[in-house]
Amino acid sequence: MATGLLLSGAIAALLTSALPAQQQPSGGFEDPPPDKIVIKVATVNGSGCPQGTAAVAVSEDNTAFTVTYSDYLAQAGGDSAPTAFRKNCQLNLLVHVPQGFTYAVASADYRGFAALQPGAKGTQRASYYFQGSPNTEYRTHPFSGPLNDNWQATDTTDWAQLVWAPCGVQRNFNINTELRVSTGTSDPEEVSFMTMDSTDGDISTVYHLAWKECPES
C-alpha cells in the first residue's frame, strides 16, 4: 500500500440523482481503463477518523477500492463520555481517473463489530455528493440489541441511476460516514458499542466502481 494513499477517513461515491445531460458520458459500460486511479485527500474531519487511523488501497483491476480503520468506535452506557455515542468521518477527496474515462460507485460494503445490550440501538449512516452538486444522498442501516457479532451493511444504486463524475472536469468527491449508539431500553449501566474496525484491525469498507468512456471532445 503506497504511503501517499494513507487516509484519515473513509471514501465513497454512491449518488442517485442525475447530472445534467451535457455532463453524462456516452456509450455503454466499459472495462476498467488500464491505468490506476489516483486518490488523494483534500481535507478530513471527524471524531471517527483521527489522523493516521485509516488507509485506502485501490484494487489492481481498478474495479474497487478498500478503506481500513483502526479507531472508529461509538459507544453509550456505563461510564462512556457524553460525546462518545456518535462518531463520524467526513472526507473530501481528489480522484484522478485515466484520460477518456469517468467513474461511478455502484455499491459500498461497510463492515464492523457491534456489542449491543438488549434494548440498545445502533445506526450506521453514510451520505455522498460531488463538489458543486446540490444533491446529497443518504443511506441508513439500523441495528438492535441483543447483538454481539460482526455486522455488515451494503449501499447499492441501480445501474440506470448511477451518477457519473463529469468528464473533463476535476470535481472533489465527498463522503460522510457515521456510527451512533443509544442505550434505548437497556440497562444504562451496561456499555453498548459499534465499531467500523475489528479485533485484529482488518475490517474493510469496499467501494465497487463502474466505468464509462467519455465522449470525444
Taken as a whole, the chain contains a residue count of 217
Q: What is the pLDDT of residues 172-212, one digit of tens each?
A: 888 889 999 999 999 999 999 999 863 333 456 787 888 88
Q: What is the pLDDT of residues 61-116, one digit of tens each?
A: 777 777 778 889 999 999 999 999 999 988 777 777 788 888 777 888 899 999 99
Rounded CA separation 214/13 (Å):
18
Can you give the pTM of this predicted structure? 0.74
In DSSP terms, which residues pair with 194 in a beta bridge? 74, 114
Residue 192 main-chain phi, psi, to 5 deg: -120, 145
Nearest to 103, CA basis, from 130, 140, 138:
130
DSSP state for residue 61 in the 8-state scheme: T
Q: Are strands 192-195 and 147-156 parallel, antiparallel or unpaired?
A: unpaired
